[in-house]
Structure 1
Amino acid sequence: MADQVRDTRTSTASKVRLSHDTMDKPEHHVALDDVEGMEPSLETYTTIMATNKPNPRGPGYIKLYLLAGMIFLCSTMNGFDSSLMGSINALPNYTEYFGLPSNGNASTGIVFAIFQVGQMCGALFIWMTDWYGRTWHIFFGCLGVCIGTIITALSTSLPMFIGGRFLLSFFATCAHTAAPLYLVEISPAAYRGTIAGAYNTFYNVGSILATSSVYACHLHLADRGDLDWRIPLWLQMVCPGMVCFFIKFYPESPRYLIANDQHEKAREIITKYHANGDPNHPLVALQMKEMLGTVQGVPKATWKDLLDLSVLVETRSSRYRLMLNVAFSWFGQFSGNNIVSYYLPLMLNGIGITDTNTKLILNIIYSVIGWVFSVAGARLHDVVGRRKMLMGSTLGMTICLALVAAGAAGKVEYGNSAAATMSIVFIFLFGAVFATGYTPMQPIYPAEVVSNKMRAKAMGTFKLTAGAAGFLNTFVGPIALSSIGYWFYVFFVFWDTFELAFMYFFFVETKGMTLEELDAIFEARNPRKASIEAKNMQKRIIKDERTSEGVDV
């Protein structure tokens, strides 16, 4: 058995070794002929990781973590906004200044929902990342957020405030869409779920910063006019300002560089961040070979190609990929989560909690719980897998919303205080379950399931879909809550049940596979079944390699 495994390991490794002399050619001499006939092999990547795994605590990986940490700040923008608006909507100074009702109506909804309108408009320009690069798009996005923040913080009328929020959302979408795309493309496959998945956990960091600042300002500045809500608005530009300053010191996505004939730069990035600086590591040869294979015979994109959306639907494989991208984009915004994050103070009103400070403190606690569980979830997605995590979370969310509805009904229909308490408990448990399964994957899974040439345009589709779902949620939400009360939660119980069934039959497992290896999965007749079989094969290979090592000892 040990001899068989060693033979497999040797033959597999020999497939992936590119001549070091070839890879050291000057950039303009790296020819696609060097990789002719390359077919991505799941066994190859898995075998390398089982027998020659780079140290995840090595110098290259530490630099990658620091790089990713700065990119994570892009994610705070959406979390900051959702919790900021939910929190200041509970402040009398804010609602009185703009003449808004405190119990929510169409005027309140449009203030929130304009953020989704800006998202949808900003998503139309994500294709520009294929033109001038991922890092420039992040830079311009963060710069625009700073400008939008200044307008909202200085607003003297509701139209000016709404206009500032539109600009803020438009540019936040540019940064917030390009950032996970960048992380997915620069992260090593074995840790992509953890590194790129941790990106969206900073949504909760933004929420914590927003709710804490609003609480502190209300506590100390409530009698100082409009300072208790204007100061938190100013703080919205801190994180994007930091990213704007540092982002151009970072390397570009290696896949963007490959697509733009900068092969040597791409190899240097893979060597530095995936192999801890070892140019002879087999992962460097494998990943260069795979990435070069995706552009073999493909002409350089022109302006026409950058605007051509046919790539999203040109083959059966691309249509299946687009279906998953759109479905999860919608699920991530329309599973009951936006109602909780934006309208938690209103929901607390409905179950008898009316004190402003109490509502703000509960908002902070909700955000902290979300962050803790989302960080754990980011790691679990690389351990348990995407499908099991997402289906388990959806089932848990369905149960939680059913109990929230039951508790709210008990309070409204029978005045039962214990039922109201139960409702609060399961609102927070819902947040924890959603954060564990969905939060890390919201922008990551839609980017993983599409091909390299689809990715920028597909991320635009992701944002358009998420924006449409979010708009429906946030605009209709306050009206529905005030009109049908707890029956709104009942609707999401049935909807989340549908999501669970859809995931079971169609969602593909992406854990531990390079983006190029996933191409073969989606070419299969049944991609979901093929991905599950691929994961089982991975497990067998890893088990055989470990058995071999044990016998050798």
Structure 2
Amino acid sequence: MADQVRDTRNSLSKARLSHDTMEKKGQHIDVDDVDGLDPSPETYAAIMETTKPDPRGPGYIRLYLLAGSLFLCSTFNGFDTSLMGSINALPNYTEYFGLPASGNASTGIVFAIFQVGQMCAALFIWMTDWYGRTWHIFFGCLGVCIGTIVTALSTNLPMFIGGRFLLSFFATWAQTASPLYLVEISPAAYRGTIAGAYNTFYNIGSLLATSSVYGCHLHLADRGDLDWRIPLWLQMVCPGILCCLIKFFPESPRFLIAQDQHEKAEEIIVKYHANGDPNHPIVALQMKEMLGTVQGSQKASWKDIFDLRVLVETRASRYRLMLNVAFSWFGQFSGNNIISYYLPLMLNGIGITDTNTKLILNIVYAVIGWVFSMVGARLHDVVGRRKMLIGSTLGMTICLTLVAAGAAGKVEYGNSSAATMSIVFIFIFGAVFATGYTPMQPIYPAEVVSNKMRAKAMGTFKLTAGAAGFLNTFVGPIALSSIGYWFYVFFVFWDSFEMAFMYFFFVETKGMTLEELDAIFEAKNPRKASVEVKKVQKRIIKEEGVHEGLGV
């Protein structure tokens, strides 16, 4: 193994696209736009065309089970979002803490403290490079259990808010390290499906929360504060389960490579990517690529918290950071949080005031979101990230336009049909967002950054998402009360801007290893390079096969 490691260190070259081959086939690409992409006879795409491992083999089955367990981390935010939205509709809860049912600044800070906790926790994500991904997930889950106990036992509003801060702080630890881990351990061909499915369990958490609140309110509404305290206690079930399981999981192979534990990293690739075959070409390729990324680098230490130069040291890293920050903001500030947190208040505004009806509609919204997000997770590996994100943003813009129109019809003219239309398109908006955005929210920000940037960039992701979420959840109830449907109109224009930004700047990551993406970001125009490379590759595979040696 030692000899192989030395050989791979010395022989590694980035996965690149052959300009000469392209010209022979009559496919022309602007060399300036894909500068630095050279031939490579063995790439991930070429290996998958000729010796594709069985995705139903024993190693892949183990990987699916491992990933499925880790999906429990994704339920944390979905549970909290829908839990708070649902109990905010319960008279027992609002009366206990002296909160107005219509929402004000006090209501906003109860919701928004979750985003404050996210932003504070984001400063510690770098620790995943120090002691590993699985330990960070473990401590995060343990902290969520502690925060849940504080909130469930709260006797006053400050204690409740403090518990929610703790819960959010540690949930962010687990939720940031989990997608980072999944992106690094998943094979490139199925990364969008496996890692993308992670965030779809946001809706499972949402479904669990809304169902528990509905059931408790239905049967315990006359039993004091039990109808909202019991759902709060249930918030520790998923983190408790994962806390018991996570240390049985293997570490990320890329973290192990960075720690000079090459044999362990290779064992994981063999087991989970090659179904136990150590001679499969995919093993040698990925070991070459991963070893190449750590040449000349040092192990992470606690001092690295102060060194953020890796995020901005080159033009490529700055472009990567831009995509990370942009999509982090878009994922929280596209009208989705307003609907998720304040669906009961929105239903109030269009004439639906019955508590049970609002809770049932919350459940339906969660079910629709989960079904469509699961479909979207698979489509991102089939259609591609760019097309999915641009298409879903267009759909969201149309939906919000019609939601605003329907709300205006109800408010200005008392039109019941307009109110019904508004509700329908609220749910269609949820389905469209879930299909395009939900699977990629924590995944695309992790894909577009390099291995040495990833931990700090995921901290940036959470910091940005927390800021956007805070703005949404704190300002949301005030804006809805003050300007009503015009708040939806604002998001119509904002989502239009997002769509244009994605078209001009977002890079396609479908089907490429994390290391192969390094070559794409070295191009003069990474967005154009990623799109053109995929087009040419697809055409040559169809016409000539892969025996001549394809690029990325």
If the TM-score is normalised by the length of the shorter chain, which range does it land in? over 0.9
Shift of 1:60: 0.1
Shift of 1:306: 4.5
Q: Which amino acid aligns with 1:209?
A: L
1:73 matched to 2:72? The reply is yes
| One of 8, 12, 29 as aligned partner of 1:34 | 8
Report what 1:279 is aligned to: 278
CA contact (8 A) 1:32 1:292 kept: no
Report if aligned partners of 1:194, 1:382 keep a CA contact under 8 Å in 2. Answer: yes
Q: Does the aligned pair in 1 maintain the 2:85–2:340 contact within 8 Å?
A: yes
Q: Would you say the 8 A contact 2:49–2:546 is kept in 1?
A: no
- Could you tell me how far apart the structure 2 residues matched to 1:179 and 1:198 are? 12
CA distance in 2, matches of 1:124, 1:249: 27
Amino acid at match of 2:313: E
What is the aligned partner in structure 2 of residue 171 from structure 1? 170
Deviations 1:477-500 (A, max 9, x none): 000000000000000000000000
CA RMSD of aligned residues (A): 1.3
Q: Could you report, residue by residue, the CA deviation over 1:200-231 in whole angstroms, capped at 9, with x for unpaired residues?
A: 00000000000000000000000000000000
2:475 aligned partner: 476
Partner secondary structure for residue 54 of structure 1: coil
Secondary structure of 2:438's aligned partner = coil
Query: Residue in 2 aligned with 1:345?
Result: 344
> Displacement of 1:524 after TM fit?
0.3
* 1:53-68 equivalent positions in 2, closer than 5 A: 53-68=52-67
Shift of residue 546, structure 1, vs aligned partner: 5.9
Deviation of the 1:39 alpha carbon: 1.4
Distance 2:206 2:407 in 1: 25
Give, in whole Å, the separation in 2 of the partners of 1:95 and 1:304.
45
Matches of 2:472 and 2:7, distance apart in 1: 51
Q: 1:230-277: per-residue Cα shift (whole Å, max 9, x none)?
A: 000000000000110000000000000000000000000000000000
Structure 2: state its 5+ residue gaps.
17-39, 548-552
Give how far 1:307 is off: 3.2
What amino acid is the match of 2:120? C
Aligned to 2:425: 426
* Per-residue deviation, residues 492-524 of structure 1 (Å, max 9, x unmatched): 000000000000000000000000000000000
SS of 2:236 mapped into structure 1? helix
Contact 1:181 1:444 in 2 (8 A): yes
What secondary structure does 1:201 align onto? helix
Which residue is equivalent to 2:370?
Answer: 371
Matched residue of 1:55: which SS? coil
In structure 2, C-alpha distance between the alignment counterparts of 1:54 and 1:535, rounded to whole Å: 22
Cα deviation, residue 33, structure 1: 4.6
Amino acid across the alignment from 1:38: L
In 2, Cα distance between equivalents of 1:262 and 1:211: 44
User: How far apart, CA to CA, are the structure 2 residues paired with 1:61 and 1:191?
Assistant: 10
Output the CA distance in 1 between the equivalents of 2:533 and 2:239: 40
* C-alpha distance 297-30 of structure 1, shift in aligned 2 (>3 A): farther
Q: Distance in 2 between matches of 1:263 and 1:376?
A: 36
8 Å contact from structure 2 (residues 140, 171) kept in 1: yes
Equivalents in 2 of 1:302, 1:420: separation in Å? 57
Using the alignment, how far apart are the partners of 2:124 and 2:428 within structure 1? Answer: 37
What is the TM-score of this pair, normalised by structure 1? 0.93
Q: Secondary structure at the match of 1:36?
A: helix
Mapped partners of 2:254, 2:544: distance in 1: 30
Q: Is the 8 A contact 1:74 1:175 kept in 2?
A: yes
- Distance change >3 Å, CA 544–CA 285, structure 1 → 2: farther
Relative to structure 1, the CA distance from residue 285 to residue 547 in structure 2 (aligned partners, 3 Å threshold; closer, same or farther) is: closer
Q: Who is 2:518 aligned against? A: 519
Q: Which residue does the alignment assign to 1:143?
A: 142
Q: 1:289, 1:134 → 2: CA distance?
A: 22
Secondary structure (helix, strand or coil) at the match of 1:440 reads helix
Alignment match, 2:29: none
| Cα distance, 1:545 vs structure 2 | 6.2
* Gap change, CA 1:545 and 1:209, over 3 Å in 2: farther
Report the equivalent of 1:354. 353
Partner of 1:251: 250
Equivalence map 1:261-272=2 (5 Å): 261-272=260-271
Q: Deviations 1:53-107 (Å, cap 9, x if unpaired)?
A: 0000000000000000010000000000000000000000000000000000000
Using the TM superposition, give the Cα deviation of residue 446 of structure 1 relative to its aligned residue in structure 2, in angstroms: 0.2
Tell me which amino acid in the other structure corresponds to 1:137: H
User: Aligned partners of 2:243, 2:457: CA distance in 1, in Å?
Assistant: 24
Q: Distance in 1 between matches of 2:53 and 2:140?
A: 34
* 2:392 counterpart residue number: 393
After superposition, where does 1:123-202 map in structure 2 within 5 Å? 123-202=122-201
| Aligned residues of 2:46 and 2:546 also touching (Cα < 8 A) | no
Cα offset, 1:464, TM superposition: 0.2
- Paired residues for 1:255-334 under 5 Å: 255-334=254-333
State the match for 1:414 in structure 2. 413
1:50–1:96 CA distance, 2 compared to 1 (3 A): same
- Does the CA contact (< 8 Å) of 2:336 and 2:430 recur in 1? yes
| Aligned pairs, number | 523
The offset of 1:540, in angstroms, is 2.5
State whether residues 50 and 545 of structure 1, in contact with CA within 8 Å, keep that contact through their aligned partners in structure 2: no
Letter in 1 for 2:68: G
Distance of 1:183 and 1:286 partners within structure 2:
19
- The CA distance in 1 between the partners of 2:175 and 2:498, in whole Å, is 25
Question: Secondary structure of 1:156's partner?
Answer: coil
The structure-2 alpha-carbon separation of the partners of 1:101 and 1:516, relative to structure 1 and needing over 3 Å to count, comes to same
2:23 match: none
- Alpha-carbon spacing, 1:223–1:503, altered in 2? closer, same or farther (3 Å): same
Map Cα deviations across residues 182-206 of structure 1 (whole Å, 9 max, x no partner).
Answer: 0000000000000000000000000
Shift of 1:536: 1.2
Which whole-Å CA distance do the structure 2 matches of 1:306 and 1:470 have between them? 24
Q: Separation in 2 of the partners of 1:529 and 1:79?
A: 35
Give the % identical residues.
Answer: 86
Q: TM-score, normalised by structure 2?
A: 0.93
- Deviation of the 1:535 alpha carbon: 1.0
Secondary structure at the residue paired with 1:301? coil
Q: How far does residue 542 in structure 1 lie from its aligned partner after superposition?
A: 3.3
2:22 is matched with: none
Tell me the equivalent position of 1:5: none
Q: Give the structure 1 partner of residue 82 of structure 2.
A: 83
Partners of 1:303 and 1:482 lie apart in 2 by 46
Distance 2:128 2:436 in 1: 28
Deviation (angstroms), 1:31: 4.1
The 1-side partners of 2:425 and 2:152 are apart by: 35
- Per-residue CA shift, 1:374-422, capped at 9, x if unaligned? 0000000000000000000000000000000000000000000000000
- 35-44 or 412-421: which moved more? 35-44
Looking at structure 2, the residues matched to 490 and 380 of structure 1 have their Cα atoms a distance apart, in angstroms, of: 29
Would the alpha carbon gap of residues 372 and 545 (structure 1) be closer, same or farther in structure 2, given more than 3 Å must change? farther
Deviations 1:314-370 (A, max 9, x none): 000000000000000000000000000000000000000000000000000000000
Worse-superposed segment, 52-61 or 532-541: 532-541
Contact 2:142 2:243 (8 Å CA) reproduced: yes
CA distance in 2 between partners of 1:462 and 1:34 (Å): 33
Does structure 2 conserve the Cα–Cα contact (< 8 Å) formed by 1:148 and 1:168? yes
2: CA distance, partners of 1:115 / 1:196:
24
